[in-house]
A and B are shown apart, each in its own frame.
Chain A
């Protein structure tokens, strides 16, 4: 909505009051307008059918308005990753949205990069897909050059560099990387959109992150608690993850349908799916 207002302000200052920037690809509202050379009036669509009889004004016959193209779109979703002493759990919901509509209920946001490393991304799906392709190619090249798959900390650094290479036209992708590091311990890295990253005990990103992060602070990092902190086994963490997604699914409109959970250990990756509310 702020972009609609700023677009309004920008066009007003350039073109005067007669022009209304209503359409932009970020989903602004549409108001049919009528301009008879003197006065601008806002009216109902059935009054004018337009040249081709369809009733859609393409910006020619009625008041001229400007379209702004935005290269980014938010497709929704939440990802969560938690690390343990010898495992890492990463989970993401499977809903793909655009505006207030659901495009698909069954789209995966998790992408295994190697046997020991999984990338979860929320944000703009097209940027996420492109980022995955680029990373896959780099992993392959590394494997051919070094005769071994890339280790998780190296993959984390490579992802950070890849994101920063597009510093001035970023990938709209909010990533979490989860895996087993070279010593066999669980590792989780959180990223921002331009490649700043850090190894953390847990990470949540996407539209539901503000619902999950404080909960994880209390349950995983044991903040603001007086009882003893203990190491949690993998199956207990999976239950915590399911509870967390139930919470996020209740309060966030972009999160729902199902959760795909991957548990990464030294023996490989185990997958699990958990159904959420479809509303």
Chain B
């Protein structure tokens, strides 16, 4: 079975304002393990994941991470195809999101949703002879939520962007009621941009399944469904998300022979600034201890 021949598993989980993706490090030919990523000391850092991890991981821009399991040859082939397309679409000067480049549209980073569409299209092109891979896309996408501003009066320069009511929580506040008593002309609707987690797994032909909680792929996916379903809860953040994702991943790998030999978790965390600044995205790598078998 080509999808199970080389082994490997991936688990991605979403939290509040952040996403985590866990990948293992085994590359084998059926039952024989060939590489475990432990020799990957090419940079001399002594870190397991650097250079040696056979799992294919791509970072098109700072918001999005792509990874896939499956047949390794197809994995590399598809990685090259993705690189060509990403170079054409994403890595042009504007779309990386460097501020001050030509025009406001060009300043926006390509969203994970768009990259997933691109990936689905490339996979479906090979409908008759598919790439035997199971990709996972994780990232943060910028969405706009409306907030209400209170303005002092017409012609006033003092506009304090006090968040009276966010449509997210839907709790009516006293201040809002008092504002409504005033003239409607003093109200102004402004949109705030926040980073929302985005998770999507596709099958080998590009059929997407987006999820709010978690997505898994690879040989241990049945076990991963079990542990992740039991351990995920909404609104996890930062270290807690990494802990839950890592624990679910390592427990599932315990029972799987075709994955293992290491677990690395990448956390993409959105900005904590007042206005949820898009540029303030952090990607952290955690190398977990797990069984080497």
- Do A251 and B226 touch across chains, with their CB atoms under 8 A apart? yes
Total interface residues in chain B, CB < 8 Å? 16
Tell me which of A108-116, A216-224, A229-237 binds B: A216-224
- Do B229 and A250 touch across chains, with their CB atoms under 8 A apart? yes
- Do B251 and A215 touch across chains, with their CB atoms under 8 A apart? yes
Q: Which residues of A in the span 197-250 have a Cβ within 8 Å of any Cβ on B?
A: 208, 210-215, 217-218, 223-225, 243-244, 246-248, 250
Residues of chain A within 8 A (CB-CB) of B254 are 214, 217-218, 223-224
- Do B226 and A224 touch across chains, with their CB atoms under 8 A apart? no
B259 vs chain A, min Cβ distance (A): 12
- Do B247 and A218 touch across chains, with their CB atoms under 8 A apart? yes
A214 with B223, Cβ < 8 A, contacts A223-B251, A224-B254, A244-B230 known: yes
B47 within 8 A of A: no
Bound CA span A223–B231, Å: 15
Bound CA span A223–B252, Å: 11
Residues of chain A within 8 A (CB-CB) of B223 are 210-211, 213-214
Interface centre among A218, A244, A251 (most CB of B within 10 A): A218
B212 within 8 A of A: no
A70 vs chain B, min Cβ distance (A): 23
A218 with B225, Cβ < 8 A, contacts A243-B230, A244-B230, A247-B230 known: no
Determine the residue in chain A with the shortest Cβ distance to B250. A224
Interface string of A21-32 (1 = CB under 8 A from B): 000000000000
- Do A210 and B226 touch across chains, with their CB atoms under 8 A apart? yes
Determine the residue in chain B with the shortest Cβ distance to A212. B226
Total interface residues in chain A, CB < 8 Å? 19
Residues of chain A within 8 A (CB-CB) of B229 are 211, 247, 250-251
Q: Which residues of B in the span 106-149 have a Cβ within 8 Å of any Cβ on A?
A: none
Determine the residue in chain B with the shortest Cβ distance to A204. B226
Determine the residue in chain A with the shortest Cβ distance to B230. A247
Bound CA span A208–B229, Å: 13
Interface string of B144-182 (1 = CB under 8 A from A): 000000000000000000000000000000000000000
Interface string of B216-248 (1 = CB under 8 A from A): 000000110111011100000000000000010
A207 vs chain B, min Cβ distance (A): 10
B54 vs chain A, min Cβ distance (A): 22
B281 within 8 A of A: no
B95 within 8 A of A: no
Query: Which residue of B225, B231, B251 contacts A217 across the interface (Cβ within 8 Å)?
Result: B251
- Do B226 and A214 touch across chains, with their CB atoms under 8 A apart? yes
Bound CA span A208–B227, Å: 12
Bound CA span A225–B290, Å: 10
Query: Which residue of B226, B247, B250, B291 contacts A211 across the interface (Cβ within 8 Å)?
Result: B226
Residues of chain B within 8 A (CB-CB) of A213 are 223, 226, 255
A10 vs chain B, min Cβ distance (A): 21
Bound CA span A208–B226, Å: 9
Q: Which residues of B in the span 232-291 have a Cβ within 8 Å of any Cβ on A?
A: 247, 250-252, 254-255, 290-291
Interface centre among A212, A214, A223, A251 (most CB of B within 10 A): A214
Query: Which residue of A217, A248, A250 contacts B255 across the interface (Cβ within 8 Å)?
Result: A217
Residues of chain B within 8 A (CB-CB) of A211 are 222-223, 225-226, 229
Q: Which residues of A in the span 126-180 have a Cβ within 8 Å of any Cβ on B?
A: none
Residues of chain B within 8 A (CB-CB) of A246 are 230
Residues of chain B within 8 A (CB-CB) of A250 are 229
A204 vs chain B, min Cβ distance (A): 10
B residues apposed to A, CB below 8 Å:
222-223, 225-227, 229-231, 247, 250-252, 254-255, 290-291
A residues apposed to B, CB below 8 Å:
208, 210-215, 217-218, 223-225, 243-244, 246-248, 250-251
* A-B pairs with beta carbons under 8 Å apart, 23 shown: A210-B223, A210-B226, A210-B255, A211-B223, A211-B226, A212-B226, A213-B223, A213-B226, A214-B227, A214-B252, A215-B227, A215-B230, A217-B251, A217-B255, A218-B254, A223-B254, A224-B250, A224-B251, A246-B230, A247-B226, A247-B230, A248-B226, A250-B229
9 new A-B contacts, CB < 8 A, other than A211-B222, A251-B229, are: A211-B225, A211-B229, A213-B255, A214-B227, A214-B251, A214-B252, A247-B229, A247-B230, A251-B226
